[in-house]
Amino acid sequence: QVRLVESGGGSVQTGGSLRLSCTASRYTYYMAWFRKVPGKEREGVAVSSGDGRTVYADSLKGRVTVSRENAKNTLSLQMNDLKPEDTGMYYCAVDPGVYRWTTIQALSAKNYAYWGQGTQVTVSS
């Protein structure tokens, strides 16, 4: 079992920035951020794997940066130039399996065993 605690959500105006953090109760090979925005399926935002690889969703590339600190089992997501369409619930997810996922697999919610409760991000115009 892995417990996840997210923090850092909030409300910002268009063009603003937010930094989300996720702390896991133990090390896991894959750590990721997903989001659920109104009217869309849950989608992967960014992934960090234990071999140092990072993966980003094409729709957010250039506006988000993920960073990981293994000593503290934390994963952070820096989001810049936020837009109203980024409004939604952001979730941290982890999977302890040591796999060599493709980009599509890494960004697929069904592959993650443990999920946080989510943190709300609201971007106003």
| Angle of CA points 95, 96, 97, to nearest 5° | 95
> Is residue 112 predicted with pLDDT exceeding 90?
yes
Question: Cβ(83)–Cβ(123) under 8 Å?
Answer: yes
pLDDT at position 98: 85
Question: Cβ(95)–Cβ(111) under 8 Å?
Answer: yes
Nearby residues of 12 by Cβ (< 8 Å), 6 or more positions away: 18, 82, 121, 122, 123, 124
| Calpha distance 20→61 (Å, rounded) | 16
pLDDT at position 99: 84
Question: For residue range 51-98, what is the model confidence (pLDDT) as tens digits?
Answer: 999 999 998 889 999 999 999 999 999 999 999 999 999 999 999 888
Question: For residue range 13-59, what is the model confidence (pLDDT) as tens digits?
Answer: 999 999 999 999 999 999 999 999 999 999 999 999 999 999 999 98
Question: Cβ(116)–Cβ(92) under 8 Å?
Answer: yes
- Mean pLDDT value of segment 100-109: 93
Q: Given its phi and psi angles, is residue 35 left (phi above 0), alpha (psi -120 to 50 degrees) or beta?
A: beta
pLDDT at position 1: 92
Least Cα distance to 48 among 6, 2, 88, 103 occurs for 103
Q: What single letter denotes the amino acid at residue 52?
A: G
Q: What single letter denotes the amino acid at residue 49?
A: S
Q: What single letter denotes the amino acid at residue 75?
A: L
